[in-house]
Amino acid sequence: MSAMMDFLRGKPRSGLFHYRLERDDWIRFLALPGRLLPLLASWADEQKATILLLDGEKPVLISTSLELRRYHAPSSLYPVAAWGERMARDLWGVEALSAPDDAPALDDGSWAKTWPLSREGITVPGAGLTEPKGLYMSPCYVGLPGLVGLEYTLGGEGRLETVIPSIASAHRGVLSQLKGLTPEQALPIVARISAGGFVAHPVAFLRAVEQAGGIYPVPHERDTRLLLLEIERISLHLFDLSQTARLVQADLFATLCDQMRETLAALCASYGFSRRLTDVITLDEKQRERIEIVPLAQAVREAIEPKFSLLSDLYALYGERFRGYGVLSNDTVWHYAIGGTTGRASGRYIDMRRSDVGMRLEALRSSGGYGGDAHGRNLQRLSEIRDSLALIEEIIASFALEDETESFPALQEGLGVVESARGDIWYWLTLKEGRLDTIQIRDPALPVLTAFGEILRGEKPDSVPLILASFGFSPAGLAL
Amino acid sequence: MPSHLTPITWLQALWDARQFKVMQPGQRRPSSLIRLYALETGSCEGCAMELRTLAGGAFALKASGFEFVPAPGEADWLLVTGAVTRSNAGTLLAAWQSMQGRKLLVAVGACGLDGGPFTASYAVLGGVRPLSRHYQVIKGCPPSPQDVLQALGVLAEEVWASPPVPAAADSE
């Protein structure tokens, strides 16, 4: 047992996973020597600061109350906590003491209100945008579908020395919209948090809602979601492969990826679903009963499997073009808790699907560890497409079979996780009179963003679009 | 991969790429291409991803009379995806003002039109509807690349048959 878990033993706890520490214990906890449990997220609002850690593959939440709108900064121990602290400061006006970085993360001066989620928010009619001061790559240059800009300095040979990412222009006030809604009202917004998870975000949200209510989905619904997640995984891996390939002029491979993804979308539409599976996850029992996922899943497997060997063979012709771009070491992915294909390609083999109720583990064969560069991430995506096809077959073969589950009480608090195509998505929420009282979201882009400085240091500026595309980086799920 | 597979792989992939390519029904190659610039202004990125797919090799964009350009100053039409965050309002205006000639503002998707699920707030203006009286819309959440291509074709026919947008609309 780590010193951290040892410290938590005997501390006040709600449910199975949420510890509550007094201020002094919180500070002591953040100064413990020895091996650190990986930190996935750091959140704060006007009442409490909370960190989400991973003990093996089990989540641990730890909270402390704020005093005078202040709390001791988890980033004093965990650099990955910094973005959460900066966002909390922008949204609620709460301060993380001893934080190494307190620059605004979301409020770039354009907002019409400061601390918009705080009871003490102030309207600022004449707000003006803060412009970057030094060298700047605009989102247009960075070239991703989403909005991320980079302030940077150059060192020797014109290589990047420091990099400060900006995601403020992507902020849409999602958390302010969700607070106070019922889960039914919230779901259409959750479904549009990120196109990197039209299925994954709502499923993670519903898992948290269901945990808060002390319920498991019935096996039919459970397996429907598992199949939808795998179809979405294949689609997004194809998109990320295509986008990366275009940047090295591997156009034929990119076109094949696009075609396969469009075939998949057309199948979804022809079986009565939306093309990208938007709004397929629902709380409406009648709508759920109408969903027949197995014919679609079978058709997807039959359409994609014959093309997969061509895709792999064609990739082998282009693979060398991706080598050496955006190398992430095993140490880096563990340090920042980078997950998904990016983490696994660098040897951090954590896949939250292994903890899913009803998961057919025998289909998850990909072992990861492909060298940690853009080429490795592509190989990881290809091997995960193969696994998804195998998993679809396994689930179809034993669809809706009962699985052993442990009952748990309805505590009006839930933590839901989904291993999406781009990594683990977490939702933590509390309900009050059936409405969202607290909601916090952790998107897998967070640790990658935190590691930008380390990832891009020493790279040439013109390599940035390829490197970021190879991560499948998207700020939509971050700038909430 | 065994080397003897290489020519077969290439040929098969080329054949597949040619077979699939989606064309706009009844299309003819026009005399000049309409240049498109895609501007994301804050969304789930779904519509922006669809435009990326449209720009890729699976769709006959050029054969349908369109091409994407890397800068708004080179564009005829501005395709806006996203709910237009306040942070992006200046970028949108600058992009529009840098465009020359018979330019067109096109809101792609629900967010681009009126913010979709992202309602006007301290951070969001709510699409192009509250910002301009002169715009066209491609509906969907997100619209498919094929829908976008088809809608662009219809717009091209309508726009060239109609009088130009008044110069004063530049600042609206």
pLDDT in tens, A83-110: 999 999 999 999 999 999 989 999 999 9
The CATH 1.10.645.10 portion of chain A extends over: 217-404
For residue A42, the surrounding DSSP H or E stretch is strand A39-44
B24 occurs within a structural domain? no
For residue A204, what are the contacts with CB-CB under 8 A and spacing of at least 6? A197, A416, A417, A418, A420, A425, A426, A427
Can you read off the two tokens belonging to residue A94? Answer: 């709460």
The CATH 3.30.460.80 portion of chain A extends over: 3-123
How many domains are contained in chain B?
1
Per-residue pLDDT of chain B (172 residues; tens, 9 = 90+): 455 567 767 777 777 776 666 666 555 456 689 999 999 999 999 999 999 999 998 999 999 999 999 999 999 999 999 999 999 999 999 999 999 988 999 999 999 999 999 999 999 999 999 999 989 999 999 999 999 999 999 999 987 777 665 555 444 4
Q: Select from A118, A253, A258, A276 the residue whose CB has the most chain B CBs within 10 Å, as the one to mutate to test that interface.
A: A258
* Residue A286 scores a pLDDT above 90: no
Share of chain A above pLDDT 90, in %: 86
Say how far apart CA B25 and CA B62 lie, in whole Å.
14
Are the beta carbons of B128 and B104 closer than 8 angstroms?
Answer: no
Q: Which domain holds residue B144?
A: 30-165
Say how far apart CA A3 and CA A10 lie, in whole Å.
13
Are the beta carbons of A66 and A46 closer than 8 angstroms?
Answer: yes
Closest by CA position to A394, among listed A237, A223, A254: A223
pLDDT tens-digit readout, A138-177: 999 999 999 999 999 999 999 999 999 999 999 999 999 9
- Mean pLDDT across chain B: 87
Are the beta carbons of A379 and A361 closer than 8 angstroms?
Answer: no
B16 occurs within a structural domain? no
Query: How many alpha carbons lie under 13 Å from residue A292 in its C-beta half-sphere?
Result: 6
pTM (predicted TM-score): 0.95
**A198 lies within 8 A of chain B by CB:** yes
pLDDT score at A289: 83
| Record: contact A146-B22, CB cut-off 8 A | no
B60 occurs within a structural domain? yes
Are the beta carbons of B118 and B75 closer than 8 angstroms?
Answer: no
Closest by CA position to A304, among listed A372, A390, A380: A390
By CB neighbour count within 10 A (0-12 exposed, 13-18 middle, 19+ buried), where does B79 fall?
Answer: buried
Q: Which residues of A touch B16 (CB under 8 A)?
A: 256, 259, 307, 310
Task: Specify the CATH architecture of the domain A217-404.
Answer: Orthogonal Bundle (1.10)
| Record: contact A173-B124, CB cut-off 8 A | yes
Band (pLDDT 50/70/90 cuts) for residue A35 is confident
CATH number, domain at B115? Answer: 3.40.50.12280
**A258 lies within 8 A of chain B by CB:** yes
Residue B97 C-alpha, separation from nearest chain A C-alpha, in angstroms? 17
- Give the per-residue SS3 of A264-311: HHHHHHHCCCCCCCCCCCCCCHHHHHHCCHHHHHHHHHHHHHHHHHHH
Residues 292-321 of chain A whose Cβ lies under 8 A from any Cβ of chain B:
307, 310, 313-314, 316-317
B114 occurs within a structural domain? yes
pLDDT score at B26: 54
B87 occurs within a structural domain? yes
Size of interface A-B (CB pairs under 8 A): 151
pLDDT score at B163: 67
pLDDT tens-digit readout, A191-241: 999 999 999 999 999 999 999 999 999 999 999 999 999 999 999 999 999
Tell whether ipTM is more than 0.90.
yes
Say how far apart CA A256 and CA A241 lie, in whole Å.
10
Q: Which residue has the tokens 């076109």?
A: A255
DSSP string, A405-445: -------SEEEEEEEETTEEEEEEEEEETTEEEEEEEE-TH
B17 occurs within a structural domain? no
| CATH topology for the A3-123 domain | Beta Polymerase; domain 2 (3.30.460)
- Give the count of beta carbons closer than 10 Å to the beta carbon of residue A220: 14
